[in-house]
Amino acid sequence: MRWRTGYVLALVMIMVVRIGARSQDDAPLPPYLYYHSPAIGGFVIERADGSDHHTLALGFTDATQNILRDVLWSPSGRWVVWQTAVYRELSTSFYRAWGTRVDGSARLTVLESPHDIWVDTPLLTWAPDRDVLLVVQITRPSDGLGEPATAHYRLIEPDTNTILANHDIPLGTSFVMADPRNFEMVWLPDARGVVVSTVWDLAGAPASIVTLGTTGIVSTITTTQRQFAGLLPDGAYGLLEGRGLTIYRNDGSTERYPLDTETEVSHRFSTSPDGLTVLAFDAFGRFWRLDHATLQAVPIITKAGQEQLPPVPLWSSDGARALYVDTDGVYQVYERVSDTVQELFDVPDHLHWAWADDDRQVLFYQADRVTVYDIVSHQSTTLERWINFALSNDDLFNPVGYPFYPSPDGRYVGTTDRRIYFDGSSFREFTIHSAAVNISLAVELYVWHPTESWAIVGANLTEAGCCGATAFGAVNAQSTSVMQQRELTIGRGDIAGWLPDSVIPHLVPPAPSP
């Protein structure tokens, strides 16, 4: 009997071990993340738990290039491009662009310029569904002011390291550094090309509408900032001419919409996500809906406020509603079905806002709570005060000062005081195993994975803000007792993110951990 009992116990133990091993093998692997490591002078790609370590783009730049931005992976996952700059004495130099194949077999040298050429890269972006790269670079013969500058618009094919289309625009000698917000851009269907407009109007540099085709076709229109009304999703552009708005289509046709307003006032477009509704609004906060069937500009808001261009309306995901604030600071919602607007009452002071609950509600994020506004019933509810972390007045104008960082699925909300909330009220506190992060006042970075419960968190370690040393960590919000976390790196900038799935098949075999 003792022998049989021992045999049964041993058999049960073996089965438990096998079942446990199988359950561990079947457990989902953590997602891949990437970050830039100053220690190796390149990028690190690894799973969130630190396993399966890869390196990328080693030796591209020297130690002086200590600021990074715009790490962009191509649609196929075969290529990555990014920008670097030099940070010194509370100022940032121009940005240079770089690119490489993920497997390290080729370098995108067509992006690079000699070191004795002043170059800035205000625009760098991939086509949505094809490995075609748009870049706008501004160059001068030297690093000094007073030299003539030129803007170079290029479409690049990385697989052949060639320029598909190129157009240069002289900018004169008094041109200042460009900002990415100076550009508006629309890719044509099937990645046949791209339409790029500049909205700067500086020192004689006119606003331009440049079309670059992948077959080398180039066209350009020169206008003024006040005449330019914006681009539509199909690449058409609008110009204010006389007392009306003219839309110029790619096939050469035009549409004329009369406006009962002064056309010397700046106008802009706002298009619903489905592209079915186009609103035009002017600097006084008046709105029109452009009726394509009748070629009429239907007045939506006729009241004129102060002369300042209001923020672009925030459309709901289904395109049925658009939330906007007029120049008097009044929040209103445009209803596409009824073609009317309704005012939102008693909107609290807030830092930013977002649509929620199938686009029936608007969330207004405040310093220590969230107000839920139901636009159907006009009822508002303030959620529990989640944190006791008050922002200073300066932080109200600082995007990284938002205390709430919701995950894409809405299950979790991270805050600046190192808490992750779930189920609406419960929370878990976390720390990153790094003395550098733990002495920082607040976590100012949450990069949630789009589908899983992992988040990359970080904190700037200097009061300089954008360019101080930054420490990162990875946190699994789903852990129950001890949250999975680890320190990633300490360096300048905030370059860290989740790796797109399309990149994973192109990774080279793992390198030994440093």
Q: What is the DSSP letter of 374?
A: E
- What whole-number distance in Å separates Cα of residue 487 and Cα of residue 457? 10
Worst-scoring range by mean pLDDT, 201-210, 271-280, 358-367? Answer: 201-210
pLDDT of the residue at 290: 95
CA distances from 238 to 209, 241, 244, 299, 417 (A): 10, 9, 10, 18, 46
pTM comes to: 0.81
Q: Which tens digit of pLDDT belongs to each residue from 215-246?
A: 998 999 888 877 888 899 989 999 988 888 99
**Mean pLDDT, residues 152-172 taken together:** 92
Structure tokens at 237: 């552009």
- What whole-number distance in Å separates Cα of residue 197 and Cα of residue 50? 43
Q: Which tens digit of pLDDT belongs to each residue from 73-129?
A: 999 999 999 988 776 554 456 788 999 999 999 999 999 887 777 888 989 999 999
DSSP per-residue string spanning 441-496: S---EEEE-SSSSEEEEEEE-STT-TTSEEEEEEEETT-SSS--EEEEEEEES--E
The CATH fold assigned to 228-344 is Methylamine Dehydrogenase; Chain H (2.130.10)
Spell out the domain ranges in the chain: 91-225, 228-344
Structure tokens at 338: 């009824």
Q: Is the pLDDT of residue 424 over 70?
A: no
Structure tokens at 68: 């990074």
Cα Rg of the chain (Å, integer): 26
Structure tokens at 298: 């239907």
Q: Is the Cβ–Cβ distance between 96 and 137 less than 8 Å? A: no
Q: Which tens digit of pLDDT belongs to each residue from 343-369?
A: 888 888 877 788 877 788 888 877 667
SS3 of residue 503 by DSSP: helix
Residue 349, strand partner residues: none
Q: Which tens digit of pLDDT belongs to each residue from 461-486?
A: 554 444 455 677 888 888 754 456 66
Q: What is the DSSP letter of 417?
A: T
- What whole-number distance in Å separates Cα of residue 111 and Cα of residue 134? 10
pLDDT of the residue at 470: 66
Host H or E run for residue 327:
none
Q: Is the pLDDT of residue 277 over 60?
A: yes
- What whole-number distance in Å separates Cα of residue 161 and Cα of residue 157? 6
List strand residue ranges (DSSP E) for 158-233, in order: 162-172, 183-187, 193-198, 207-213, 218-223, 228-231
